[in-house]
Amino acid sequence: MENTLLFVDDEQNIINSLTRLFRRDGYKTLSALNMKEGLDIISQNRIAVVISDHRMPGGDGVEFLSKVKEVSPDTVRFMLTGYADIGAVVGAINKGAVSKFVTKPWDDEDLRESVKDGVMRFNLVEENRRLEEVSGKQNAALKDLNANLEKKVEEKTKKIRENFFSFVKIFSNMMELYDHNVGGRSRRVAAMAKRLSAKMGLDGVDRELIETAALLHNIGLIGLPREIIDRDEELLTTDERALLVHFPKVSQDLLSTVDTLRQAGVIIRGCMERFDGKGWPDGLKGGEIHIGSQIIAISSFYDRYRHGPRKLTHKDIVVKIMEEKGRAFDPAVADEFFGFLAGWVEEERGFDSDADGPEVRRHHIANIRPGMVLAENLGTTKGRLLVTKGTVMTEALIERVLKYHQIEPVADCACLTKPVARA
């Protein structure tokens, strides 16, 4: 970029001398005979160095250069003075208007070096300002980029989590295809385990892990004879017990092939352990059992007697858990569970076929909508069980039921209720 010098003096011969001196150095030169002309030029041009005489009509050089400082602060300001102008020198210093004083008559080489230094200083200041502006724009752009990147990462993470839970639900649906009781139990136990883990103060990551493990904790039952799944342990034969003892390992093995499910597999393996060390498959006891395993175990125990073949009242189940406190269940976990149950029982009323209130409605199969919760088992007119009580109906599940309805009519007395809110 061309560097421009401005000479301001009311004597034309001085302007001519300065112009001849600096044109040979490649500078562009402008000139003015008074302050007004000089300020007009300054306001319209990029001036690297201005050289002004001290004595001019309409004002002195100090006043002029002070205004130049306001209009173009980066411009380097020189003032021509005579030896008698000491007062002007002091005034200029006080106002900070002058970068350098040049006495008359000047030495051409000294003045050329001074102007060269002034031009270099002007260019450095402007370049620094330009770099600061560029840096500011780049920082702003980088900030926007980071914000967009964080948003994209957040959206991607959310999508991954959604896909992951969809994947988990596929496994859960597989269990339901195998046995509706097992599938429905897994969803109810998962809901309880999620709420109980929150009450116990576990963080969000742990709660999701426990919920996932609860949804899949019965996956190893696929392939076992249905008649032994809900049978009391003391009634099992040796061979039947051997099959059940093996299923937590099968569950873990099935999940261990998926990296994101390996931790869930570890929790599932410990769901049949007992606090007193008499559980299986590894005989763990006390604090050796993962807290997630303990939460799922006590939730599953409650659900088994609440909704299983040997259905008991809430009070009777609490008595059974009290009997197993310190034996099957960690006393601290059991106490947390008792506190949790008070709120859960109130919410569970939405699943009871005899529950009072406007939430309970009877619907024909054609009127079932996604989000409705079964308040009793849904089956065919011939007594075949299709979907267990407590199941939240989804579009996919409704579609399957409707297709089955074409083969064997589904009872139109199914009792449904609006979904129960769960944290």
At 21-69, the pLDDT tens digits run 998 888 999 999 988 999 999 999 999 999 998 877 777 788 888 899 8
Q: Comparing C-alpha atoms, which of 144, 279, 292, 287 is closest to residue 215?
A: 292
188 neighbors 140 (Cβ within 8 angstroms): no
- What's the CA gap between 240 and 196, in Å, rounded? 31
- What's the CA gap between 61 and 334, in Å, rounded? 92
Comma-separated ranges of CATH 3.90.105 domains in the chain:
352-423
Which of 14-44 are b and which e, b meaning 16 or more Cβ less than 10 Å from the residue's Cβ?
bbebbeebbeeeebebbbbbebeebbebbee
Q: What is the pLDDT of residue 248?
A: 85
Radius of gyration of the chain (CA): 44
- Rounded to two decimals, the pTM is 0.50
Comma-separated ranges of CATH 3.40.50.2300 domains in the chain:
4-129
* pLDDT score of 420 more than 50: no
At 262-290, the pLDDT tens digits run 898 899 999 999 999 999 889 999 999 99
| Topology at the third CATH level for domain 4-129 | Rossmann fold (3.40.50)
Q: Under 8 Å CB-to-CB from 372, ≥6 apart: which residues?
A: 363, 392, 393, 416, 417, 418, 419
DSSP string for residues in 253-279: HHHHTSGGGHHHHHHHHTTT--TTS--
Other Cβ atoms closer than 10 A to 97: 21
Phi, psi of 48 (to 5 degrees): -80, -50
Helix axes 12-23, 108-178, angle to 10 degrees: 60
220 neighbors 243 (Cβ within 8 angstroms): no
* pLDDT score of 173 more than 80: no
Class of 352-423 in CATH: alpha beta
CATH 1.10.3210.10 fits 178-351, yes or no: yes
The amino acid occupying position 170 is I
- Higher pLDDT residue, 67 or 385? 67
Comma-separated ranges of CATH 1.10.3210.10 domains in the chain:
178-351
* CA dihedral sign of residues 378, 384, 385, 386: negative
**% of the chain residues with pLDDT over 90:** 31
97 neighbors 59 (Cβ within 8 angstroms): no
The amino acid occupying position 257 is T
- What's the CA gap between 268 and 286, in Å, rounded? 16
211 neighbors 190 (Cβ within 8 angstroms): yes
* pLDDT score of 78 more than 60: yes
| Reported confidence tier of residue 177, pLDDT bands at 50, 70, 90 | low
- What's the CA gap between 164 and 52, in Å, rounded? 77
* pLDDT score of 423 more than 50: no
Q: Which of 57-61, 181-185, 356-360 has the lowest mean pLDDT?
A: 356-360
Tell me the range of 163-172, 260-269, 293-302 where mean pLDDT is highest: 293-302
- What's the CA gap between 91 and 66, in Å, rounded? 10
Q: What is the pLDDT of residue 358?
A: 37
